[in-house]
Each structure stands twice: as structure tokens, then as C-alpha cells.
Amino acid sequence: MSAQPPSGTGRAAEVVMYSKTTCPYCHRAERVLRQHGVSDLSVIQIDREPARRQEMIRRAGRTTVPQIFIDGRHVGGCDDLVALDRAGGLAPLLRAAAG
């Protein structure tokens, strides 16, 4: 759920990911987030909690997993997350939330 803020700074970013247990894209997205210091990732397994799928669709406007939110901002799926990271936008987004 959170990225570790730099020592002595504000709160950690709240990171939520809607996922499925066997989804390789979900596992990749989680790996990317962990590499950026997200230590308390809130993972909602929609295959284990089917009622949460409608919540995901309402929030993201998409039906595929993963769907990732950082401090309530919809980042998108795995490809979106990786593209954001490659463009240099993920770390600042996590830092901005923590600052």
C-alpha cells in the first residue's frame, strides 16, 4: 500500500492493485512497484473476492487486471505502469505522494 518515503519526509504513497492470483502481468507489476520501494502494497484479488471486480471496473473503467492506483490516481495496468517507469514518471509520482 505504501512506498517508503525518504528519511524524515512525509507519508508513504498509498498503492492499491486489483489483481488475480494467477495473472503474470499482475506479478510483473508488483515486482516493478517493489523495486521502487513499495513495501505495503494493497492487493485486491478479484478472483478471491469477486464482488470487488465491479468496484475495480467502476474506479478504473477497465475490466482487465492489474489495475493500479497511487494515492487514488489511476495509473492503469501493467503496460501502463512499465511505460510510466521507463519514461521516468513512476518514481516522481511515488515521491510526490510521499512529499
Could you give the number of structural domains in the chain?
A: 1
The CATH number for 67's domain is: 3.40.30.10
How many alpha carbons lie under 13 Å from residue 56 in its C-beta half-sphere? 25
pLDDT of res. 1: 45
Q: Is residue 10 part of a domain?
A: no
Q: Give every residue of the chain whose pLDDT is below 50, as ranges.
A: 1-2, 4-8
Q: Is residue 97 part of a domain?
A: no
Q: Is residue 96 part of a domain?
A: no
pTM of the model: 0.87
81 class by beta-carbon count within 10 Å (0-12 exposed, 13-18 middle, 19+ buried): buried
